[in-house]
Homo-oligomer: A and B are copies of this chain.
Amino acid sequence: MFFRFCLTAVVCLIALECRADEATPRFAIVIHGGAGRISSDPAHRKARGEVLDRVLHDAKQRLADGAAALDVVERVINTLEDAPQFNAGRGAVFNAAGAHELDASIMDGRDRSCGAVAGVRTVRHPITLARRVMTDTRHVLLSSDGAEKFADEVGADIERVNNDWFSTKPQKARLKQIQAMKRPAAEHLMGTVGCVVLDTHGDIAAGTSTGGMTNKKFGRVGDSPIVGAGTFADNATCGVSCTGVGEDFIRNAIAYQISAQMEYAAKSLEDSVHHMLHHPRHQISGGIIAISAAGDITMQFNTDGMSRAAADSSGRHEVHVAE
């Protein structure tokens, strides 16, 4: 009788353990590489997929080893900022003056602390400078010359490059094409990058990095450096990174609104994100990745496609670049 009881107890414990593993992953990570039209170049799609797969494997290993969410978000975005296939760091689009201006933001879900930079021109990894704004200043958002000057003061920790370091041939061709069409700024083929992580300590972090819109002018600031619009993280609800036509994300405070719907309307993460992308009031065009405090991952978009990748401690590992 006692043996039978013990056996039942052990089976129950194993079942519970499995269920816990399934229901609440110990860690989760989601990445986007921009929403918009799908690239018609198979080599470009393949290269994107390989970068996303590599970065996902590395991040998973680190998270399994107990790495902090903020560190993983920064590292993933650093890698994507260096990859020329994405519109962030190297590979960034050209503005109307034929140069690059980069934006980034990062947020710590433990206490909603955050940092962002807009319009930087010589910082190899804008997300790293954004993190220093969060940790080393009382400010949230530094812009343009001021952000460059702050990078000077931080010193060697912030790697500097010439502005043409960010230039790539495909982006140069895109600028010429758009300027020839006399369209003010391009909305398609976006490649903003973002990452959201829930780590094994239960902490959430989120970050976004971008070169903005091809042919942009007038010091236009999109949603990527605006906490609450393009990026948000709160351990109590979720972490979010957005990509798309930034103005509509700002006017609807999309990233924060997802958290607000979970907190104030008890909506699920999946439903909140769906509501953002499909409610006619918002009129947004783009994609959203997010992770809830419980480890649920969502990757949704209302454009033709969104490059994206996700993994968690239950064994999930997926990369999409073709739709």
Contact = CB atoms under 8 A, between A and B. Distances in A.
Contacts of A119: 143-144
A150 interface: yes
Contacts of A252: 112
Interface in A122-151: 137-147, 149-150
A219 B253 contact: no
A143 B143 contact: yes
Interface in A203-253: 217-221, 226-229, 232, 246-247, 250-253
A26 B74 CA distance: 51
A260 interface: yes
A143 B144 contact: yes
Summarize A's interface: helix, strand, loop or mixed. mixed
A144 to B, nearest CB: 5
Contact of A256 (B137, B143, B221, B257): B257
- Number of this chain's copies in the assembly equals 2
A228 B223 CA distance: 12
A322 interface: no
Contacts of A227: 250-251, 253
Contact of A228 (B141, B145, B146, B256): B256
Contacts of A107: 251
A5 interface: no
A149 B219 CA distance: 9
B221 A142 contact: yes
A150 B218 contact: yes
A265 interface: yes
A184 interface: yes
A142 B220 contact: yes
A281 interface: yes
A113 interface: yes
Given A112-B281, A143-B144, A228-B253, A138 B218 contact: no
B220 A141 contact: yes
A136 B278 CA distance: 26
A261 interface: yes
A70 interface: no
A143 B219 contact: yes
A114 interface: yes
A55 interface: no
A2 interface: no
A3 interface: no
Nearest to A282: B112
Interface of A: 107, 112-114, 118-119, 137-147, 149-150, 184-185, 217-221, 226-229, 232, 246-247, 250-253, 256-257, 260-261, 264-265, 281
28 contacts: A114-B250, A118-B143, A118-B221, A139-B218, A139-B220, A139-B221, A140-B221, A140-B250, A141-B220, A141-B221, A141-B226, A142-B218, A142-B221, A143-B221, A144-B144, A144-B219, A146-B217, A146-B219, A149-B217, A149-B218, A226-B228, A227-B253, A228-B251, A232-B253, A256-B257, A256-B260, A261-B264, A264-B265
Which A-B residue pairs are the 3 nearest by beta carbons?
A146-B219, A228-B253, A264-B264
